[in-house]
Amino acid sequence: MQKLQIGLIVIVSTLYINLAEAQNYYVKALGGYGFRIPGETYLSDPDRKYSFYSLGKGIHFGAGAGYQFNKTIGAELYFNHIISNDHIVSFRWDENSYYKRPTNSNMWQLMPAFTLSNKLSEKCSFVSGFGPIIGIGRKFIQHEEFYLDNKKIWEEEMRFTGSTPFGAFAYLEFNYDFSNKLYAIAQFRISALSYTPLKGEIIKYERNGVDKLDSLPINIRYREYSENYHVETSNPNVPSRYPFTSYNYSNISLQIGVGYRFIKTEENGQSSNVKKKKKKKRR
């Protein structure tokens, strides 16, 4: 995974270094908000509520670069970052005690795309794009708290790692040109992605405000996930084993931003032609 990330960084760095001399390249930066794809909410009993969630719901922002092969067809490479806190389970044990478990995530996504452009007028155009999503970096933490008589009894945080999430996305983009080079962007994007961790580790554990992390046995502090259906937690000297659990990142996002095209203007082209003619006359 580290080799993949290093290779991608080298490729993108090389692309950006050569943009200044390119004529058909462009860069863009976007920011906005992702919404969960609508789903059902239901009650299993009067005190427990579970709802459809998406860790793709939250703040989105990123930047990328692309190349236009002709007026219609292009390709781009985009990096997107999601900051989310949407998966929350809570319920009451009785009238005096309750439990809640929010999950928050920070994920970087690599999004290569094939694009199609359609010019609507002199200043307006539509661009559609689609491609795969690769989660290349993430900070995925599940937080748990238990309260008794409105007093926090214990609190813990578990960090999940391992595996590379894959998915797909498509977008529709409206561009408005301020000039031949600078333009505004309004984008609608739909993404389908899930993440299945391989390992879990408790990184915070407190009881009545006192740090008890070092007192936890290995089978409580560490988890490993596999296709094995049976849960194994009995041996205190090895990590507990659990079946795979997938976390949803699918979302619909609305974003705005700006783009910049690295193209030669007509004035530059005319001035270069004049210079060439002058050189010929001198000869």
In terms of pLDDT, which residue wins out, 50 or 151?
151
In terms of pLDDT, which residue wins out, 96 or 66?
66
Question: pLDDT band at 114, cuts 50/70/90?
Answer: very high
Q: Which residues contact 241 (CB under 8 A, 6 or more apart)?
A: 223, 224, 225, 226, 228, 230, 231, 232, 233
pLDDT, tens digit (0-9, with 9 covering 90-100), for 116-132: 999 999 999 999 999 99
* 24: pLDDT strictly greater than 50: yes
What pLDDT does residue 268 have? 47
Q: Is 36 exposed, middle or buried (0-12, 13-18, 19+ CB in 10 A)?
A: buried
Predicted structure pTM score:
0.75
Q: How far apart are CA 128 and CA 170, in angstroms?
A: 7
pLDDT, tens digit (0-9, with 9 covering 90-100), for 181-225: 999 999 999 999 988 889 999 999 988 888 999 999 999 899 998
What pLDDT does residue 267 have? 46
pLDDT, tens digit (0-9, with 9 covering 90-100), for 40-85: 444 444 444 445 578 888 999 999 999 999 989 999 999 999 998 7
Which residues, listed in sequence order, are joined to residue 53 by a DSSP beta bridge?
A: none
Neighbours of 194 (CB within 10 A): 16
Record the tokens describing residue 233, joined without a space. Answer: 């937690």
Record the tokens describing residue 55, joined without a space. Answer: 């860790």
